[in-house]
Every structure is written in structure tokens, then in C-alpha cells.
Chain A
Amino acid sequence: MSDAAGLGDVAAADMGVTPGLGAGGGAGAARPGRETFRLFVRNKAAVVGVLMLAGVVFMTVAGPRLYDQDPKDIVARPLIGPGELTEARLGTDYLGRDVLAGVINGGATSLTVAAMAAAMVLVIGIGIGAVAGYYGGWTDSALMRFTEFFQVLPALLFAMVVVALFEPSMWTISFAIGVVAWPGIARITRAEFLRLKNLEFVRAARAVGATDWRIIRKVVFPNALPPLIVSATLIMGTAILFEAGLAFLGLGDPNTTSWGLMIGLNRGNFLTAWWSVTFPGLAIFFTVLSFSLIGDGLQDAYNPKLRGR
């Protein structure tokens, strides 16, 4: 099975180590991890999402080995349609590069940027959200005002400013996306911590003398995970869209190949060479859709109210 389902499984197992998520535990309460997995697999849309993502990952990892064509090489005359050339089955772009090679190799950049951005979002968001939610009081106020500051920034505009200030590269683009996308995660984490921190099992842990750090890490955090995993999945999708959006606006790094950049650079020829933007566009579409479907599937699977159906 795919990574995403495995991730869900692990998270659900974690959830099993501490008792009492409260509300209506159903038939599988004894082995919630397995139950979550069962619910997820029963959700056809989610399985389709997993298969799509697996396909994209396979294309990105194995594609360049199976189809050995440098996406930057000029292989034929520019703007030749799909099916007309054996060396560029999906046509050529404005420079005469192979669109198929671009789609295959562009995924690595898009997915790497998305993963790095998502990792950054999770680290900042969970860190700030957990501290704010757990300690409350002025710490909470200060951190939440800080969060709101970033929340009210128009995300794409701010990301553009960040990328424009530094040179557009994979690192700055990931950084820019990470910097603008974390407030959502911080707020979800804080909400979960606020809800959980006064529940009995947390008090119990405190009563037996566990340190704050241990309680946050071992007791509260695992129980706050399900909604975070769902959000993280969706953030992967958002990050890919952001990367594409920045590249579309001319803030991509043309030294690397990415789907968004292909669309951005080729959009001037959109009226006459649909293939040069459509295929990378479809790649983005399926990748983002797969993350979205997986996210929805996970959310349903974690939702206790749907258990035992």
C-alpha cells in the first residue's frame, strides 16, 4: 500500500496508545488503527487518490530512468504538436524542448518543493501552536497575535515578495511557501491542545510528575495528530499550487524544470500551442487532486462519528 495510507496507520496506532478520544467510539475501539485503515480503504475516492499519487511518484522516480531525455535539450523545432514527432510524443515547447520529458522531470521539483514547504509549515505551525495552546495566557496571546500577523498577509503576494527579494530558486520558493502557509496549522494545533490539555489523562500525566515537554510530546501531541495529518496532506496540495502560481507569475527558477514553470513560460503561446501548457497542467491537476482525495479520505477515516458504519 502507499505511503499515505501507511502514514495514517502509524498515526492511528499512536492514537491508540492513549485512551479516551471521547465521543462515540464504535466497533473497532480496541484496535483503532486497523479500524481507521479499514474505513480509509472502504472510501473509493481515497483509494483512487492513493493510486494517482502512487502513479505520480512512480513517474517522478522511475520516469527519468525509463525515458532518458534531458528536458532542457532542444530536440526539434519549437511548437510542434503532439503525435507528430517520435522524439517528442507530447509535442515541443517554444524552444523546441520535449514536453513529455518536461512533465516527467518537472514532478521532482514540484514534489520536492511541496515536501520541503510542508515540512517547514509543520515545524513552525506545530511548534507555535503547541506552545501557545499548552501554556495559554500571555504566551498564547503573543504567539497568536504573531500568527494573525502572518494570517492576514495576502499569502501569494507575500510569497512573491519573499521570492523577489532573494533569487528565485527551489530553496527560496519552498521557504516562501512555508512562511505564508503555517498559520492554519498553528491554529489547528493550538485548538487541539486547548481541547486536550485539561482532559483527565493529561492531568493524570501531570500528576505523576511528567515534565511539560514530555506531556506535550508524548501525551497531548499524539492525540492532536489526526486533524494535523489531514491538514498536512492538504498543505502538500496547496504547496504544489503555490509553486505553480509563483512560477506562472515569472518567479520560478528556470534553471530547474517544474510543472508550474512550464506553464508560466509557455503561457504566451497558449492560444497556438495548447499542449505545452495542458500536459504540465494535467500533471498538477492530478497530483493536487490526489492529495485532496487522500486528505478527505483520512478525515473521514479519523472521524469517530463515522465509525462502525
Chain B
Amino acid sequence: MKKWRLLVAVLAVFALVAAACSSDDDDDGAAPAPTAAPDTDDMTDDDMADVDDDMATDDDDMADDDMADGGDDDMADDDMAAAHSLCNDGANVGGTLIIGSTQVPRHLNGTVQSGYATAVPGTQLNASPLLYDDEYNPMPYLAESWEVADDGLSVTLHLVEDAVFHDGMPITSADVAFSVLTAQAHHPFKPMFAPVTGVDTPDEHTAVINLSQPHPAILLAMSPGLLPVIPKHIFDDGQELPTHPRNTEDFVGSGPFRLVEYEAGTIIRMERFDDFFIEGAPCLDEIVMQIIPDATNIVLGLENGEIDLSVTLGPSANILRLMDNENVTVNSDGHEAIGQIQWLEMNTDDPALSDKRVRQAIAYAIDRDFMIDALDQGLTIPATSGIVTASPFHDSTVNPYDRDVDRATALLAEAGYGPGELELTIDYIPPTQVIYAEYVVQALEDVGINVELSVSPDFPTWAGRIAGRDYQMTINNVWNWGDPVIGVHRTYLSDNIDKGIWTNNTGYSNAEVDRILAEAGQELDAGRRAALYGEFQQIVSDEVPIYYLTTPQFWQAYNPRVQNPPTNTIWGMMSPMHEVWLDQ
């Protein structure tokens, strides 16, 4: 009898464990494959972000101009030389930099995984062909020089000769070719390497990337966060790259720091790599990333000096509080390329929302200024189109849909809805976006639309609903990623409908838009490209499948002893920190 009881008890425990495990799998499965992780495309903890006045006024020359600039590495080389002496000066060497982050990376291999969570440690562990300065100019990194063919159909990279991986094996053109092809096959940003037809490796230090069409974003795709160079001799063993065990275990990278400790969701400890190919770098002995789920604790850690640097700071009030603290430096420099937009997305297949007038009425009902001024406490800037204001392709003449309750009511009446006759639901990325969804509920009540919040208990549930188009409206947060080809096209192309979260999840389909985007995607002339994107923004603004709310900024807070933080770039903390040092 006793044995029998024991057996039942053991079985019950197994059943429970099995049930728990399988329900986990279901969750993941429901959310469409690799793009569904919170860290995948866009960091979901959108609160961290907010405004930089510079951004509105920045007159950046975009990547395309730089296509021609491939040869201007002399100047960049001087910069590098300056960096060497920086670390060689004894006082600047050593110390441990502690980074606090709420973001849990899925793994550390950035060739198959996008997103901030992977890119921050990933760019320390792996080097990329190019770096970028704060004006979108490419700078030498693993590639000491590069040329773009006149017809735009190939890019030649000349690699530095003495670079080695963390296991001592040389970094060669074969590794670059392998990384590009891996990213082409597995990275969620398909357009990034879609035109690549192959990579030639005429010698160990020359890689020629061949393209089927001119591709204005190709050099930007060589950025640290987008194309880490991974070792072919480790990863080319027949195993699937997205689930490769070496993505976290015995990690062998090409970057300035090497992995010494990795505990999922807790800590990532990285140590100086002594044989890094830039002489004298990195300055730091060690970078420790502590994963702290609650931003409040990160704020307290910054205040009492336990954390040196963080960008995941929680709601606006926390950022304002840190700004008042003399022992913490707060700014939003260096993230220009990310181009985050917070928006309200509408399912255009929904019977009510398929009517353009209803969508326009919703847009007119929302007070963007209130959201920025009151909810974000002035820390965000307005977004009026799918291309962020800071981009040279932004069209500032589009209709911003400033609040106009009368017009909204009139449009609804025209569409056949009197006050209280239209009922909708709104989704949001839990937990941080609830504030915007709650505001939209209130705003639409003013024009007689009843809106109920549709609650997702966790991120995968939300992602599954949106990607499966089981929604009417949702707040979303999508990034431009430097070039429209990478971050903008995916939301509007009709052949990219429902390919996972952060693809075309509105069901928006317009042949004219498809044509314009295809053309702009291979136009090398910046002026002509801007004209095409202007046309695109006008059409989308009129049809308003998406109402653009705000551009949150990446506020970073750091201890003043942190010198040379990655703010002189366009990618912020998704940049190698080999020149960061601590003023002890």
C-alpha cells in the first residue's frame, strides 16, 4: 500500500513537471519562431527610451552617402591611433565596468539573433567588419579598408592581418563569408542580406560580397550589432545555428572581450582579450553585465554606485530622478540609428477598421502632445511617419493628425458609426505599454468609441496574437535600424504579411507602396531615394494603417567615472567598449 502511494506521488510529480514543460513549449510555439523573443527585434522595454533634442535637429548624412566614402580610412586610422595611446597610458587601464540591464538575451550569437539584449554583450564578444561614428560614417574595425563597386553590385572588404579569435585561430575572409551567409539564412532582418548572391574569398584577408542589385544598406549591415564575425571552425559543424550550443557555451568570439561566465538571466562576465587585434585595447579588465529584472533596482544601483552604466531605466520619472542626481550622468547621445517608434497599429482586415475613415478618426482622436508632455514627461519626441524625424528620409510634410475631436466624430458618422456604436479592443506589450493603451481607451471614449483593453499576460502571448492577427488595435514599438531597407520596409510590404512579429502585422497591402519600396531599396542616390520615401510616407499617412505616436530616446545613465562611453556612434551600447575606461 505504501509503495503504491509513493508511486502515485512520484507519477503525479512527473505529470506536473511534464505539464509545466509542455506548456512552456506551447507558449514559444504560439509565438512565431525566432522573431518572437522579447529581445528579438526591438527591445520591448520601451520605457527606457526617450527624447534627445539633438535628434530633432541632427543633420546626419545617411549611410548611402558613405557608400562612396569607403576609402576615407586615413582619418579613421588616426582616430584608432588615438585610441591606442588612450589605453596604453597606464592610468587608464584596468578595472571592472558593471552594466545593469533588465534585458535577458536568448543567446550571444548576433548573426542569428537581433535585438538589444543580445547585441550589448554580443558586440563586446565579437568584432564586426565596420564601426560607425556618430554621423553614419563607416570606420575600420575588422576591415581596415573597403570598396564598393561603381555599379553597386559588390563590396570588397580588406581584413586586418593579425586578428585572431579567442581560441587563437586567425580571423580570415572565410569566417566573414560564413558570418554573412549565416546572417542571410537566419537573421530575422531578411532584407539586410537578401540581395547577397555569394561571398568570394580570393585570399585569406579579402572578402568580396556579391549582390544581385545595388543595396544601399549593405555597409550599414556591417555594423557591430548586425554582423558579428563568428568562427567558421566552431559553428560550421552541421548543427543548426539558431540553436547551436556554442551560442552560449565555450563561446569563441572575435571581439575585445572574451566570455568567462554566462548564467542565463543572471550574469554575463567578460574578461579582457589580451590578443585583441587593436594594439593596447581594450582598456578595461572586465565587463560584468548584471541582469536585474526590475528597473527600479537598477536606478537605486546607479545612485549608490553599485552599477556603472545602464540604459534600461524604467519609466520617465526614473530618468528625471537620475537627471537630478549629481553622481549620475544622463544623456541620450549615440543612439541615432536605432530610430525607435511607438505606434498604434490597426488590423486592416477587421470589418470596422478596414474603413480608412475609421482609422483616420482614431488618429484624430488621439492627442500625441498629451502623451509626450504628460505621460512621457517631455522625454520623447513626436513621430509623424514610419521613418523617424532624425532620418534624412523623413518627410516632414505628412499630415501629423493632430487632435481634432470634431473631425474624428464627423469621420465616424460618415463611416456609419454614431457615438457609442463602435466597440474595439486594444492590445499592448506587457507590462510597460499599458499606460499608452489606457490613454488610447480614454482618448477614444471622447469621440464615442468604446475600447476595452485586451490583456496579454506575457510577451510571447502578445507576440502570438499580433503575428496571428488576432487583434483589432495594438500599441507597438518598432525600430528603424538605421536604414529603411532594414527597419521600415518590413512593416508595409504586402509580401511580408504575417511572417512573424514585427513584420507586416496590419495586413496593409498597396501595390503602389510595394513598387516604391522596391525601387527605393536599390536606389544608391540619396536624393532620389529620399523622394521615393517621401511618396511612400504620403500614401501611408493618408491610409493610416498605423498611427505614429512618439519616438522614445535611449537614455543612458552612467557613473561619471566611466570615461569614453559609447556615445560617439549611432548604435549606442550596441558598440564595442574597447575604448571605455574608468577614472579610478
Q: Mark interface residues in A158-189 (1 if CB within 8 Å of B CB, else 0).
A: 00110111011000000000000000000000
The residue among A72, A160, A264, A268 with the most chain B CB atoms within 10 A of its own CB is A268
CB contact list, B425-481 vs A, under 8 A: 430-432, 434-435, 437-439, 441-442, 452-455, 457-458, 461
Q: Does B16 contact A (CB under 8 A)?
A: yes
CB contact list, A265-292 vs B, under 8 A: 265, 267-273
Nearest chain-B residue to A146 (Cβ)?
Answer: B12
Asked if A95 contacts B457 (CB within 8 A), the reply is no
Question: Please, how many angstroms separate the alpha-carbon atoms of A251 and B431 in the complex?
Answer: 9
Nearest chain-A residue to B321 (Cβ)?
Answer: A272
**Could you say which of B299, B432, B435 contacts A95, with CB atoms under 8 Å apart?**
B435
Question: Please, how many angstroms separate the alpha-carbon atoms of A160 and B458 in the complex?
Answer: 11
Question: Across the interface, which residues of A come within 8 angstroms of B441, CB to CB?
Answer: 72
Q: Mark interface residues in A126-162 (1 if CB within 8 Å of B CB, else 0).
A: 0000000000000001000100110011000000110
Asked if A167 contacts B8 (CB within 8 A), the reply is no
Given A78-B374, A270-B296: A94 touches B458 (CB 8 Å cut-off): no
Nearest chain-B residue to A246 (Cβ)?
Answer: B457
Asked if B430 contacts A250 (CB within 8 A), the reply is yes
Question: Across the interface, which residues of B come within 8 angstroms of A167, CB to CB?
Answer: 454-455
Q: Does B81 contact A (CB under 8 A)?
A: no
Question: Across the interface, which residues of B come within 8 angstroms of A250, CB to CB?
Answer: 430-431, 457-458
Asked if A145 contacts B8 (CB within 8 A), the reply is yes
Question: Please, how many angstroms separate the alpha-carbon atoms of A72 and B441 in the complex?
Answer: 10
Question: Across the interface, which residues of A come within 8 angstroms of B318, CB to CB?
Answer: 268-269, 271-272
Question: Across the interface, which residues of A come within 8 angstroms of B321, CB to CB?
Answer: 271-272
Asked if B296 contacts A254 (CB within 8 A), the reply is no
- Contact size class for A? 35 or more
Asked if A141 contacts B315 (CB within 8 A), the reply is no
Q: Does B56 contact A (CB under 8 A)?
A: no
Question: Across the interface, which residues of B come within 8 angstroms of A251, CB to CB?
Answer: 457
Q: For the complex, would chain A's binding face be called helix, strand, loop or mixed by DSSP majority?
A: loop
Q: Does A300 contact B (CB under 8 A)?
A: no
**B304 shortest CB reach to chain A, Å:** 13
The residue among A160, A163, A270, A273 with the most chain B CB atoms within 10 A of its own CB is A270
Q: Mark interface residues in B533-545 (1 if CB within 8 Å of A CB, else 0).
A: 0000000000000
Asked if A164 contacts B442 (CB within 8 A), the reply is no
Asked if A268 contacts B442 (CB within 8 A), the reply is no
Asked if B453 contacts A153 (CB within 8 A), the reply is no
Q: Mark interface residues in B395-437 (1 if CB within 8 Å of A CB, else 0).
A: 0000000000000000000000000000000000011101101
Nearest chain-A residue to B436 (Cβ)?
Answer: A95
Asked if B457 contacts A79 (CB within 8 A), the reply is no
Question: Across the interface, which residues of A come within 8 angstroms of B458, CB to CB?
Answer: 164, 250
Question: Please, how many angstroms separate the alpha-carbon atoms of A153 and B457 in the complex?
Answer: 20
Question: Across the interface, which residues of B come within 8 angstroms of A265, CB to CB?
Answer: 431, 434-435
Question: Across the interface, which residues of A come within 8 angstroms of B442, CB to CB?
Answer: 72-74, 95
What are 19 A-B contacts with C-beta separation under 8 Å?
Answer: A73-B442, A95-B375, A95-B442, A145-B8, A145-B12, A161-B23, A167-B454, A168-B457, A250-B457, A255-B453, A255-B455, A264-B431, A265-B434, A268-B47, A268-B317, A269-B317, A269-B318, A271-B300, A272-B320
* Extra pairs beyond A254-B434, A270-B296 (19, CB < 8 Å): A74-B442, A78-B374, A78-B375, A78-B377, A79-B317, A94-B315, A94-B375, A95-B435, A145-B5, A149-B12, A152-B13, A161-B23, A250-B430, A254-B437, A255-B453, A265-B435, A268-B432, A271-B318, A272-B318
The 8 closest A-B pairs by CB, nearest first: A164-B457, A272-B317, A250-B431, A268-B315, A269-B317, A254-B453, A168-B455, A149-B12
A interface with B by C-beta (< 8 Å): 72-74, 77-79, 94-96, 141, 145, 148-149, 152-153, 160-161, 163-165, 167-168, 250-251, 253-255, 264-265, 267-273
